[in-house]
Amino acid sequence: MEQDTIRSVTVKPPSFMSILTGEWTELAESDRLGKCRSVTEFEKLNRVGEGTYGIVCKARNTENNKIVALKKMRLDTQKDGIHITGLREINILLNIRHQNIVQMSEVVVGKSLESIFLVMEYCEQDLASLLDNMAAPFSEPQVKCIMLQLFAGLQYLHENFIIHRDLKVSNLLMTDKGCVKIADFGLARKYELPLRPMTPTVVTLWYRAPELLLGSKTHTTGIDMWSSGCIMGELLAHRPLLPGRSELHQLDLILDMLGTPNDTIWPEFSKLPALENFSLKKQPYNNLRHTFPWLSDAGIKLLNIMFMYDPDKRASAEDCIQSSYFKEQPRPCDPEFMPSFPQHRLKRKQSKAEGKKSKEKRKSLDDSFKSFGDSTTNAPLVKKSRRDIS
């Protein structure tokens, strides 16, 4: 009688991509969590916002009682893993340290490897929420204080060959001591020379540079500086400076404010891809002075050099820090004298309709953070305060 033969089969452990190197590696079952702590060591408090590629929740580290922000990374459902932009964000945040950039302390995991959380320092408010809730605009000394801190953070990023690519008021956080921090690096990229093509569909519309609107795939630090000009204008005016409803409308608003560019002031202008399909309206005047009639000449000059059409001629963060605008009266205030509204979210009056929706939102929040465990499912939900623009 012929005996059945049994062949031994070697089962290889699954492969995982390293967050630090981007290389695939095989890990044994006992090593798959590596040195990452479990998210169950954090007590969820409430949801505070939503970044480009993840939901952000306020939490308490039970090890030391420190309040932190936990960002749950969104998964790429088509590739069964963290979206590549999430990996870029982790890689960038692990390698930068600056007082004006939000700090990531560690990566923690949920009950499964599909649940990845970034542990970030917690900041009490973002500038979008403050602008929405302040009875009076920021004073000019306060605007100068904010912008100097933004430029300091940008100078550090650009010197380390990092472009943020999504600067806006809701991505600028502020601590209770008035320290401004650049946040949400979901679209950030490291760049190298010569510059490689990148997708032009980055940066929230209201803060998007004209070269991106016209289809340029070459990204320079100039796109961050354009966004910074939009932020400064918004802080000074207490309203969005260029609130376009579409890309074409956004271009119209830019032309109305700055005039129509040409090859003389922007040598690569006529070669931009979008101009093959349409031409821009003719508007010969720069109207920044009419937009800000009370602003000093130094302030107008600072805005103008951030709003140069040619990205190669646009001011750098270091140029802006050296602007005479920050040396004239009124001088920038000290960060500790910045307004602080730690309770501004709680003071919002919710309608009955919002009250009915809160239970549904709380359930959705608990589902999205279900890996925290049952002990945290009753945490209160705070109404999302960041502007919903794209």
pLDDT digits (tens, 9 = 90+) for 201-237: 568 999 999 999 999 988 899 999 999 999 999 999 9
5: tokens are 């033969």
Residue entry with tokens 């510059």: 195
Task: Check residue 202 and give its pLDDT.
Answer: 65
- Other beta carbons less than 10 A from residue 119's beta carbon: 22
Burial pattern 234-258, b for ≥16 Cβ within 10 A else e, equals bbbeeebbbebeebeebbbbbbebb
DSSP lists the bridge partners of residue 44 as: 59
Q: Which residues are annotated as a binding site for ATP?
A: 71
Please report which residue ranges of 330-377 form alpha helices under DSSP H.
352-368
Radius of gyration of the chain (CA): 24
Identify the pLDDT of residue 198: 52
Q: Is the dihedral of CA 117, 120, 124, 130 positive or negative?
A: negative
Known binding-site residues equal: 71
Q: What is the pTM of this model?
A: 0.79
Residues with Cβ within 8 Å of residue 6, at least 6 apart in sequence: none
Other CB atoms within a 10 A radius of the CB of residue 277 amount to: 7
Torsion angles phi and psi, residue 354, rounded to 5:
-65, -35
Cα dihedral across residues 342, 347, 353, 359: positive or negative: positive
**What residues act catalytically?**
166
Regions of the chain where pLDDT drops below 50: 1-2, 4-11, 29-30, 32-33, 194-195, 342-366, 368, 371-386
Listed residue (164, 217, 169, 225) closest to 194, CA to CA: 217
Q: What is the pLDDT of residue 343?
A: 46
CA dist 143 → 140, 150, 179, 301, 325 (Å): 5, 11, 13, 16, 11
Task: Evaluate whether 85 touches 52 at the Cβ level (below 8 Å).
Answer: yes
Q: Residue 81: which H helix or E strand, with range?
A: strand 81-82
Q: Residue for token digits 């945290």?
A: 376
DSSP H helices, the chain, are 84-94, 127-133, 140-159, 210-213, 222-237, 247-258, 288-291, 297-306, 317-321, 352-368
| The two structure tokens encoding residue 13 | 């452990």
Residues 6 or more apart in contact with residue 150 via CB below 8 angstroms: 100, 167, 172, 180, 182, 228, 231
pLDDT at 382: 37
- Exposed / middle / buried, residue 128 (Cβ in 10 Å: 0-12, 13-18, 19+): buried
At residue 260, the pLDDT reads 97
d(CA 295, CA 301): 10
Q: Which two tokens stand for residue 359?
A: 């239970």
Residues in the chain: 390
- Alpha helices (runs of H) in 176-296, residue ranges in sequence order: 210-213, 222-237, 247-258, 288-291
Pairing of strands 54-61, 67-73: antiparallel
Which segments of 101-240 are extended strands (E)?
104-109, 116-121, 125-126, 162-163, 172-174, 180-182, 189-190
